[in-house]
Structure 1
Amino acid sequence: MIKMSQAVASAVLVSTGLFFAGLSGGAAFADSTPFAGPTPIAGSTPQAATEEGNRPQITVVGEGSVSATPDIMRLDTGVEVRRPTAGAAFSAARDAAAALTRALLAAGVAARDMRTDELTLAPEYRQYPTVSGYRATQGIEAIVRDIDNADEVVEAAAAAGEAVRLNGISFEVSDNRVPLRLARDIAFRDAQARATQYARLAGRGLGRVMEINEQTVTPPTPIAGFAAAVDRASISPGRQDVSVSVRVVYGLV
């Protein structure tokens, strides 16, 4: 599914003895004819003409968006233990993390797709400065490349021991080059359609492209959260949007 956002655009038209300014940005016209009318509205700036023949221009921003299906899942998990001494807490956390790692490996997660992303050891106080014990944690991030196996991986982690903590999941598109190319196509066509409309409204013809600037690229945004494994299909990656915004300057004829 392809989504295209609609932007409110306005135009700045400069011609002999006439100045018009819109209230919001999105499209701008410029003409090389010197301005001889009243003082422009404060805060507005006419589009500068190019050096090439000082020809009039129009500047528009096009937007394109493409939906993509995530193909990998990141599982944020780890262990947490409390013990009377710092050494005991740290040792217990390392043992629990090793058990969790073995469970993830057995569930199909590759060793290269796991990393330690947290390691803490801190005292806990009954009433400061009296220490009641020590808390140790070790976090593990696991990348699940087989989405169909996501439920089994989560279940394996949850069953690895009482110290295990499941902190959340996120989904990503591992290779966004294809949806980005499609989004750029849509954004450019959107810019061209807007420029054509504004040129027609101004009584002009649309000339060649003078300048192209890719303004923003929004890659697939990870969807954060956690779904408990209630059934065999409780975890779903859904869809994510890849978006592109492009600024295009056209000459007017």
Structure 2
Amino acid sequence: MDHRDRGNSQGRRRAGVTVTGNGSAAAAVDQVTVTLGVSVVRPDAGAAFQAAAHTATRVMAILADDGADSRSVRTADLTLGPQIEWRDNREFLMGYQAGQRLIVHLPGLAGLERMLTDVAVGGGEGVRIDSVALTPSNPESALREAREIAFADAMAKASHLAGLAGRLLGELSWIEERQGDGAQPISGSAGFRAAAKMPVATGDMALSASLTARWLFAESG
């Protein structure tokens, strides 16, 4: 017996229908998080560390010049360690790797293409762009709309199934939201700009909602 239906008349589970509803709504992408990496290998640990520090300093200067303030940039991790290679079941020291990972959060998208291009072209040895995550800063409105669409979808399915069974829907017994990431890019748009810049498509993001609900059948008579 479903514990959510306990307490019904005579303690028995009343007949009903359980359905899943889905919905989605678009939210404008208006913020970005960029993950940058620096990785340098040298025969000597100190030399690797200094070279990585030089590149990281250069990258930070580029970010500042392109409008990222100091509170928008943070070091996620900093590494220094040996580079080992195995040959014929033997361990060989190939050198030392030093690196740093930077997280850059931008509240807007203006200048993003220029910043990425400047880092890639002028960042120096060992620089890389690990990821660019475009997200909406205010997804709540779109999520509410997605839930409303999902509930309407569930109710329409339940009504249809009840009709096929020759019954009418009664009260809503229970409802629960299904968990998921709820976000997918749906459309990108970027004009053709200077060829030297890496274009970034900044389309809307679809925020989705999914819920499962159970309606009891209306009691006859």
Regarding TM over 0.5, the answer is yes
Counterpart residue type for residue 21 of structure 2: G
Q: CA deviation at 1:59?
A: 1.4
Counterpart residue type for residue 95 of structure 1: H
Query: Residue in 2 aligned with 1:101?
Result: 60
Query: Residue in 1 aligned with 2:191?
Result: none
Q: CA deviation at 1:221?
A: 4.7
Deviation sequence 1:166-209 (CA, Å, 0-9, x none): 22322122222111101100010001101111111111111121
Judging by fraction of residues, say which structure has more helix.
Answer: 2
- Percent of pairs identical after alignment? 32
Give the alignment partner of residue 165 of structure 1, picking from 112, 128, 135: 128
Change (3 A) 1:221 1:109: farther
Listed as ranges, the gaps of 5+ residues in structure 1 are: 1-44, 224-228
Q: CA deviation at 1:233?
A: 7.0
Q: Is 1:52–2:8 an aligned residue pair?
A: yes
Is the Cα–Cα contact under 8 Å of residues 176 and 219 in structure 1 kept in the other structure?
A: no
Q: Is 1:121–2:80 an aligned residue pair?
A: yes
Q: TM-score scaled by structure 2?
A: 0.80
Is the partner of 2:154 in helix, strand or coil?
A: helix
Q: How many residues of Structure 1 are paired with residues of Structure 2 in the alignment?
A: 204
Is the Cα–Cα contact under 8 Å of residues 39 and 100 in structure 2 kept in the other structure?
A: yes
Q: CA deviation at 1:100?
A: 0.9
Is the Cα–Cα contact under 8 Å of residues 28 and 205 in structure 2 kept in the other structure?
A: yes
Query: Residue in 2 aligned with 1:246?
Result: 211
Counterpart residue type for residue 171 of structure 1: L
Higher relative contact order (CA 8 A, sep 6+): 2
Deviates more, 1:96-105 or 1:46-55: 46-55
Change (3 A) 1:129 1:208: closer
Query: Residue in 2 aligned with 1:237?
Result: 202
Q: Is 1:187–2:187 an aligned residue pair?
A: no
Matches within 5 A, 1:4-43: none
Is the Cα–Cα contact under 8 Å of residues 84 and 93 in structure 2 kept in the other structure?
A: yes
Q: Is 1:67–2:29 an aligned residue pair?
A: no
Change (3 A) 1:216 1:151: same
Q: CA deviation at 1:132?
A: 4.1
CA distance in 1 between counterparts of 2:113 and 2:176 reads 43
Q: Is 1:152–2:114 an aligned residue pair?
A: yes
CA distance in 1 between counterparts of 2:49 and 2:77 reads 13
